[in-house]
Amino acid sequence: MTTLATPPHGPEVTPPEAPAGETPASDARRRPARVGRWVLFLVMVLIAIVMLYPFWVMIVTSLKSEAQFLSGGGFSWLSWKNLTATIPVGQEVLSSTIVCTASILIILAVGLPAGFAFAKLRFRASTVVFLIIVSAMMVPLQAILMPEFVNVTRLGLTGGYLGAIVVYAALGTPFSVFLFATYFRGVPDELIEAGIVDGLGYFGALWRLVVPIAIPAIATVTVLQFIQIWDDLLVGLLFIQNTSERPITVGLAVLAAGRTTSIPELMAGSLVSALPAMVVYLVFQRYLVKGLTMGIDR
């Protein structure tokens, strides 16, 4: 009877098989990708720290009195109390809100139908007119500010909100027309034709069919124009000469232009001015990203 010899090192053990789709080579290829993601994460954290550090300085400085700021220690609400006593913060925030809201409504009311017309209607010299409108985006504000001021002054619109609203609407309309035209080119022509056949007409097709699916574009225009108008100083300073209707940015400029400027009060006012734009951006962030990238996959 023959006996099988056992290997000197014990019975042979078969190594476990690697999971399906995973090999040592594929694992080695994944390592650079993981390292790249970690490097990207660290870079983004560093950028976030650099971007958020000024806000941290503003918050800490606003919670100090002038004496505490100079000495470098302590916290107090005195700067916030002095700010409301120095400038009418509530009225200035309300004025900025009125100007922003009215300007954006005009920009949307003009940009939506104009962008739809350039995207879906064919008329003579439409390309030339569209290029002229888009080229207005390249003109810097400083180059047309004084001619605009002369024209608005001749119309007698520099006393209150109306002059600034007209100027902001004129400056923001070219961008809205360009963005809406780009978005509406991706809307199927069959959808518009079906609406016209059903008796909606072009305006009915625009408001009932196209506008409900253009929320990302509308949010993008709204957020970008809100941030630009809210943070602007020159137009509000020149075109709103009534001190009771000046926006918050003009109020901060007046506060900083005094003979003695309290840095903690100025930081408190800067926080009041910055928070609305930050809130609007955070609320509409997902629509903004979708609206800015909508032309990449079309």
In tens, the pLDDT along 217-235 reads 898 999 999 999 999 988 9
The CATH number of the domain where 233 resides is what? 1.10.3720.10
Question: Given a cut of 50, is residue 239 above it in pLDDT?
Answer: yes
- Residue after which a domain boundary falls, among 42, 71, 100: 71
Q: Would residue 13 count as lying in a domain?
A: no
**Domain of 215?**
81-292
**Residue 151 within any structural domain of the chain:** yes
Clarify whether residues 100 and 180 are in a common domain. Answer: yes
Question: Structural domain tally of the chain?
Answer: 2
pLDDT of residue 278: 87
CA dihedral 285, 288, 293, 298 (to 10 degrees): 130
Average confidence (pLDDT) over 33-46: 87
- Of 3-12, 82-91, 196-205, 260-269, the poorest mean pLDDT is in 3-12
Do 60 and 86 fall into the same domain?
A: no
Predicted local confidence at residue 292, as pLDDT: 63
Q: Which of 16-25, 99-108, 195-204, 267-276 has the lowest mean pLDDT?
A: 16-25
Quote the pLDDT of residue 221. Answer: 92
**How does the average pLDDT of the chain come out, rounded?**
83
Q: Is the pLDDT of residue 103 over 90?
A: yes
DSSP string, 87-137: S-HHHHHHHHHHHHHHHHHHHHHHHHHHHHHHHH---TTHHHHHHHHHHGG
Alpha-carbon distance of 66 to 7, in angstroms, equals 87
Task: Please tell me whether residues 243 and 113 are part of one structural domain.
Answer: yes
Contact 288, 281 (CB under 8 A): yes
- Verify that 162 and 284 share a domain, yes or no: yes
What pLDDT, on the 0 to 100 scale, is given for residue 4? 47
**SS3 for 176-225, per residue?**
HHHHHHHHHCCCCHHHHHHHHHCCCHHHHHHHHHHHHHCHHHHHHHHHHH
Record the tokens describing residue 96, joined without a space.
Answer: 């900025």
Averaged over 161-184, what is the pLDDT?
91
Q: What is the pLDDT of residue 45?
A: 94
CA distance 289 to 231: 21
User: Which of 180 and 2 is assigned the larger pLDDT?
Assistant: 180
Please state, for a pLDDT cut of 70, what percent of the chain lies above it: 86
Is residue 21 assigned to a domain?
Answer: no
64 lies in the same domain as 188: no
Regarding whether 238 and 97 lie in a shared domain, the answer is yes
Q: What is the mean pLDDT of residues 161-166?
A: 91
Q: Is residue 136 domain-shared with residue 50, that is, in the same domain?
A: no
Are 150 and 46 contained in the same domain? no
61 and 116 share one domain: no
In a domain, 225, yes or no: yes
Q: Which residue, 44, 71, 98, sits at the end of a domain?
A: 71
Q: What is the pLDDT of residue 1?
A: 44
User: Do 58 and 114 reside in the same domain of the chain?
Assistant: no
Could you tell me if 92 and 207 lie in one domain? yes
- Note whether residue 297 is domain-resident: no
Q: Does the pLDDT value for residue 66 go beyond 80?
A: yes
Assess if residue 26 is contained within a domain.
no
Tell me which of 40, 71, 102 is where a domain ends: 71
Residues 224 and 283 in one domain: yes
